[in-house]
Amino acid sequence: MRAHPLEAIRARAADFRAVFAIPAFATYQLGNVVMTTGFWMQRIGVGWVTWQLTESEAWLGIVASAELFPSILTAMWGGAMADRHPTPRIMYWGQIVSALISLALAMAYFADVLTPWAIVALMVGLGAVSGVLLPARLAMARYLAPPELLPAALAVNSTGFNLSRFVGPALAAGLMALGSAGLVFALAAAGFMALAFALHRIRDVPPQQAPHPATTDGMLTILRDLRATPLILGILLLQFAQGILIRPASELFPAYAEVAFDAGAVGLGLLNAALGVGAILGALAFSKSRDTAQALRQIVTTGAVFALSLLVFSVTGLFWLALAILVVHGAAMSASNIAALAYVQLEAPQDRLGRILALYTLIFRVGPAVGAFVFGITAEVSSLALTGFFFGLAGFGATVGIGTKLLKERTVYAGRPGSY
């Protein structure tokens, strides 16, 4: 019998209180929310300054790719480090280096020597550090929370991230409207240092869960394993397609704010804030399902809405309508991500789960890295509206095509022992 909604809410609230009662976890989360708020402020600032310097959609795509591509290359090294060294220590030194890069951005801006190529170089450095940190960041909840509270810890992480995605752009927009993009970068550096301080305080805390044994299997071995799990392979393919065709549009928000809506820096902040609000609502409305069939349907339906909302956003000329569409877009994005990750974790063979999640994370970055570059170049030679429309249409086609095959295969594989 399904629990009453109020009972479910009370149970979740009790889990949240329990996980925040762990001092190390509460300390980390406080620092992490400050850091991610600064991170989103910097993302907005970098995009806006790039647009102001170049007025080029292609340059927006190049800068976004400059951050994403290095993280792909360094993520596997970061995974090996996470297997050998305490997670908080890796995170600590990563925040120090990230703060120095943000400080360099601020100093270059205030000295009026910040060029597009300088931004690219600094984003390459930040992306490389981000890739090293990614496996450690994913492992922090497991490191600080006991197994019975891990779902609550992950939910807190997600909520904090999406809350920062709303607050950070709003703060950045206000500062940039006053001409203070350099202050945005300086505050981002302070955010990285805030998390470094929190990590320093918990540096001697022992892990709450035993680490998984390190694996020596390479990516080709993982891909061979996935041939026995066609539904998971299909979900990864869908995530890759959406990464190329749909997700990169947000990297072009500075161009949309200025060209499509004539809304300036404040408009840029509002576009990103609307996406963040939608992501929060999507996470709250579509919690992880223990029914894999329901999760699969959620992946397909919300993925289709994710694509269609980009298509509509790209052709609307009304700013406030665009904000409303982005709320829907963000909610669909969040709901689809939650369902995809839930399905993979529920259906993947447990002895290969870590490797499959590593591949999932890698695909999550490869798609947008390629897509941002292609989206930017295409918008440069055609138009934002046309590019967004056709990318959204292609994303919708890919989602429906792959999704239909997934649902059919689910019907075929349902009930077979050991099938996914």
Could you give the CA distance from residue 388 to residue 311 in angstroms, rounded to a whole number? 6
Residue 8 C-alpha from the chain's centroid: 27
* Residue 85: pLDDT over 80: no
How does pLDDT run across 248-283, given as a tens digit for each residue? Answer: 888 889 999 988 898 888 898 899 889 988 988 887
Q: Say if residue 206's pLDDT is above 70.
A: no
pLDDT value at residue 1: 46
CATH class of this structure's domain 8-206: mainly alpha
Domain ranges of the chain: 8-206, 217-420
Residue 420's pLDDT is what? 39
- Lowest pLDDT segment from 125-129, 134-138, 289-293: 289-293
The answer to whether residue 147 scores a pLDDT higher than 60 is yes
Q: Which of 125, 135, 129 is nearest to 66 (CA)?
A: 125
For residues 221 and 59, what is the distance between their CA atoms, to the nearest angstrom? 37
* Nearest in space to 122 (alpha carbons), one of 191, 178, 49: 49
Domain covering 217-420, topology: Growth Hormone; Chain: A; (1.20.1250)
Give the chain's radius of gyration (CA, Å).
21
Residue 256: C-alpha distances to residues 229, 252, 289, 333 (Å): 40, 6, 35, 19
Residue 246 and residue 309: Cα distance in Å, rounded? 10
pLDDT higher than 90, residue 389: yes
Average pLDDT of the chain is 81
Structure tokens that stand for 217 in this block: 């299997």
Q: At what angle do helices 87-110 and 116-144 cross, to 10 degrees?
A: 160
Asked if the domains 8-206 and 217-420 are classified in one and the same CATH topology, the answer is yes
